[in-house]
Structures are given as structure tokens and as C-alpha cells.
Amino acid sequence: MIRTRINIVSTTAAAQLLAPLCLLFLFLVVSCSGDVRSERLHPDENVLRIAVPSDPRSLDPAIAYDVVTWPLVRALFHGLVDYDDDLNLVPWHARSWSISEDGRTITFKLRQDIRFSNGRPITSEDFAYSLERILNPATKSPGQGFYRNIVGASAFQDGAAERVSGLRTPDRETLVIELVHPDLPFLYCIAMPFAYAVPREEVERHGDRFGRYPVGAGPYTLAAWQRGTRMRLEKSPSYYRADEVRLEAIELMVGGDETLHMMMFERGELDIASVTSTGIPDADFIRVMNDPVLSKRVAHQPLNAIQYLSMNTEMPPFDNVHVRKAVNHAIDRKRIVSLISDRGILARGVLPPGMPGFNEALEGYDYDPEMARELLEEAGYPEGFTTELMITARSGIDTKIGQAVQQDLAAVGINVEIRPVTGPTRIEATGRRGSVPFSTFGWYQDYPDPSNFLDVLLNGDRITEVNSTNVAFYDNEGVNALLNEASTSTDQAHRLALYQEAERLIVDDAPWVFLYYPQMYLLRQPWLKGLKLNPVWPIRYELMWIEP
């Protein structure tokens, strides 16, 4: 038994002593209950308030290429086609399109009521210019590989032609795209933000700084951007469907980590707890899901995505397949998934379960440290080696993955130094040849076809010196041949068989550590309406509004 000594004090003195304790008790009750404020910090404003850890790399649709920036790009720019909620392609700035019998020519007819935010009408020449700009090596677009099948693209990129001959504009409302060979997923590529229209005069005016001063045709315009502090997008009066846009503005706070953002959310300062690929901050996930109030405000979406560790196959020691297999066997992926509150499915290959061509028969790599040691010895590294793992700073999940990988590899003699950088820095560095040996990486589908994973990420023919999407710089002639054959086939069953064989060879070569297929959970305030998660566009700001 614990004995307590009680002193009797005056009523006034007791009140003075108890007051701060009562306030502390009330604070703890509110903080632990998950009952966030019922009122908004800015109740009269129809403004979406969100936060991100660091500035977007760019708002130029030809450059921006990550899950956090794309929703902002889509708010500023628009393209020819888009997806509905069932992932069907639907008209957007194109009122219609047609495909020739041989599958090599696509003709788009544009709407007549579309304008850039500077007020100028959009013509077919703007879309032709935007596609040509992506293919221009000077732009350094990571999306150039998606459009090389356009006739004349190679000659243009090599400097042998001044224009891309396969892009034609018979009149202001007609865009004709001629392909080298039939390409079933090409319309999906046209739906990507890379292909959104940009005005030539604004690009030439700002040059490399166009991404800082973007002008597009979306529902919003960039009103302010103070790097490292804030960004504000405001409703565009030039948007052709402006009456359907309900948010007056999007206010983006830049800086801070997921913990700070969660605190701001619970104070009513943010409308979504986290808009990063993490969704609900890892440290808060179990509390939120077990809370009877907060759990009802969670939106959940299985993602066609994979989280992996990329090993640069051109840089020692990862140029040795036995080393790469050893690393796969040395890492306990089940433990990593448990560390992220089971928000993922163990990956045994590249394609996620929701992707056409998913192969349930793939075995992948089991956790086997002894096998890892044997493979390291066979590779000529019996004592292991030292390497560097690049991770995204201020990401709780990336930090946990990095620490777990560091511990597992140390057990087999591999010393890992963790290097945290911002998300945009990691994307730029890993895409630059010969720069990063080992890195965490996540890939979210751009379109619902296996080519978006296997061809984009692992075809050696897509390797570029900078902005390479093949960040493992993996180049296997047999795999390339299978992927290239699949890209020209119009027989879907044959295509999927080719992709499955290519994936089997890729897994055997182990350019990645195949970690898990993630799932997204977003926590929203009760006054935020219109939040719809989409497998292609995880979050779409232009559909949201605030309801007081």
C-alpha cells in the first residue's frame, strides 16, 4: 500500500494549486480522446488548408513528377483527356477523339471554350507544342520516355529535325498524333500531366523558371509562393467550368514534419492531416483507427503502388547480381510492414495486386540471413561492405524503413549509412546516372497498365543521363526485348503473358528489394466535402469544398 500525506490548506490556496492541474487534466483528456475541435480556425473561408514538409520541386507539368505535386499541377493545368471514378478515359479539353484502324493515328477534336489563365484561347498548336517540349532534351523532362513512340520524336531529339513530324495541327481545333507502332496505353500517357497544355509565350518568357511562374488552363492560378513558407492557389476566372469549382483558394503551408501537421489538424488549422504519400502520420495511425470519432473521418484506398529499395546496377557493389540477391534475403520485410502498422501487403514482385497481369505465382525472396551471407561470399564480399542509403527526410515511414534496413544488413556484415534528403532532392538525385547507389523509392501508377511499372521503371532502353525513371539503371537485353514486344502488341492476352515473363526475369535479377504494396489512409475534417480517393489521382483538390 502507498501511504499519502495530506496537508490541509485554505480554500483559496487550494484553488490556486488545483487550477493548473485541472487545466492539464482537461488538456490530456482532449488530446488522448481524439476529439478534434468542432470549429474551424477560419470558419467563414471556403479555402482548403493543407501542409507539406518541403516545397514542390517545380509546378511545370513537364518537370513535376511525384504524388504530392501532381494534385497541385492538376489544379493549375488541364489536358486532353482524364479519368472518371471508374478509371474510364473521358473527354476533357478534347471534346472527342478517334483512332485509326491500324492503331497508329489518334485524332483529337478540341473544345472551343478553353482558355489559359492569361485569357488566351487554347488551340491544337498549344498541345502540339507541349508534347514537343517534353521531347526536347533541353527541357530535361522525366516524362520524355512516354512519348518517344510519336513519329519523328527520335529525329527531333537527335537534332536531325526542327519539329516532331508526327504532331500535326490541320486547324485550330484538330490535333493529329501519328505513332511509330500501335500503342494501347498511349491514351493513358496523354492523360498524364506531362501532356497538359502550356502557353509557348509564357514558357519563353520565363525559361527555366516557368515552374515558378506557371500559367495553365486549370481551375486555379498561382497567387503566391514564398519558398519554404507558403503557397496559395486561387480560383481562375478563365476556367471554362468555373461555376463548378467550389473552393475559392488552396492554401499550402510549407515546412514542418508529419507530427507538427497532425497537431495543426487537431487544432482545426488544417483540413487534411497529411497529403503526403504516407497519408495518416505513422505515429498516429493506430490511435486514429481505434478512435470512435476520428476513425469515421478516414478515407481509405488500396493503391496500385509499390514501395521498394532501388539498387543502382551500374554502381559497385550492386552491379553484382549475387550482392543484390543477398540484400533481398537479408531484409525482414514482414518486420518492416509491421513497423508501418500493417499498412501494406508483402511484395514478391513488381506489379501490385490491382494491376492487370499480376502474377500470384511469383515467389520473390524470403528472409534468410544465412543465404545472404553465402551469396555475399560468392560475390567476393565475405566481410560485407559499406554503402549509403538515401531516404526522404521528415518521413516517418522512410525513417523506419531506413533504420530497419540498416539493422538487418548490419547482421550480415553490410554497413549502411543513412542519408536523409528532401523528397524533390531524392527524385532528382536518383534519376541522375552514377549518383546514388541505394535508395528508398515508391511508385504510384500513372495509368492502369503493367507497362507503367515494368516498362517505365525497368526497361533499359528508357535510361537517360538525368531524370531517368529507371533509377536502378537496370538493363537486361532479354527483358528489354519482351517489354518492347509487349508495347507494340494489340493482343491484350499476349501482352500480359509477355509482361509476366519479363517480371519473372526482373525478380531473378533483383534490381530492387521488393518491400510492399502500400495502402492510403487520409484523415479529413468533418467540414471538408468532396474528398474522393482515386487509384490514379490519389487526391483531387478541384473537387473539394468547405461546408461550415
Q: Can you list the alpha helix ranges (DSSP code H) found in 467-523?
A: 477-488, 492-509
The mean pLDDT of 163-183, rounded to a whole number, is 97
Reported confidence tier of residue 349, pLDDT bands at 50, 70, 90: very high
- What fold, for 305-520? Dipeptide-binding Protein; domain 3 (3.10.105)
pLDDT of residue 42: 67
Residues of the chain with CATH 3.90.76.10: 70-209
* Mean pLDDT confidence for 411-439: 95
Cell numbers for 101: 484502324
Structural contact between residues 503 and 37, judged by C-beta atoms closer than 8 angstroms: no
Q: What is the structure's pLDDT at 44? A: 67
| Percent of residues, the chain, with pLDDT higher than 70 | 92
**CA–CA distance, 128 with 339 (Å, rounded to integer):** 47
Are 362 and 349 contacting, i.e. CB atoms less than 8 angstroms apart?
yes
> What are the residue ranges of CATH 3.10.105.10 in the chain?
305-520
**pLDDT at 13 exceeding the cut of 80:** no
Q: What is the pLDDT of residue 394?
A: 75
CA distances 126 to 52, 92, 340, 346, Å, are 32, 15, 45, 44
Per-residue pLDDT tens digits for 73-128: 999 999 999 998 888 899 999 999 999 999 999 999 999 999 999 999 999 999 99
Tell me the average pLDDT of the chain: 90
Report residue 304 as a C-alpha cell.
496500385
The alpha-helical segments, DSSP class H, found in 5-45 are: 11-33
What does the DSSP assignment read for 62-102?
Answer: TT--STTTHHHHHHH---SEEE-TTS-EEESSEEEEEE-TT
What b/e string do you get for 448-473 counting C-beta neighbours within 10 Å, with b at 16 or more?
bbbbbbbbbbbbbebbbeebbbbbbb
Average pLDDT over residues 372-386: 98
What does the pLDDT look like over 14-71, one tens digit per residue?
Answer: 334 334 334 333 333 334 444 444 566 666 689 999 999 889 989 999 999 888 899 9
In this predicted structure, what is the pLDDT of residue 45?
86
Q: What is the mean pLDDT of residues 517-537?
A: 89
What lies within 8 Å, CB to CB, of 5 at 6+ separation is none
For 70-209, give the CATH class: alpha beta
Picking from 63-67, 227-231, 475-479, which range would have the lowest pLDDT averaged per residue? 63-67
Q: Could you tell me the pLDDT band of residue 237, with boundaries at 50, 70 and 90?
A: very high
- For 281-309, write each residue's pLDDT tens digit: 878 899 999 999 999 999 988 888 999 99
- For the cut 60, the answer to whether the pLDDT of residue 7 exceeds it is no
Task: Look at the domain 47-54+219-302+524-546 and name its fold.
Answer: D-Maltodextrin-Binding Protein; domain 2 (3.40.190)
Residues 6+ apart with CB under 8 A from 294: 34, 36, 287, 288, 523
CA 150 to each of CA 104, 195, 262, 481, 488: distance values in angstroms, whole numbers, following the listed order: 9, 13, 46, 19, 13
Looking only at the bridges linking them, the beta strands covering 344-346 and 305-311 are unpaired
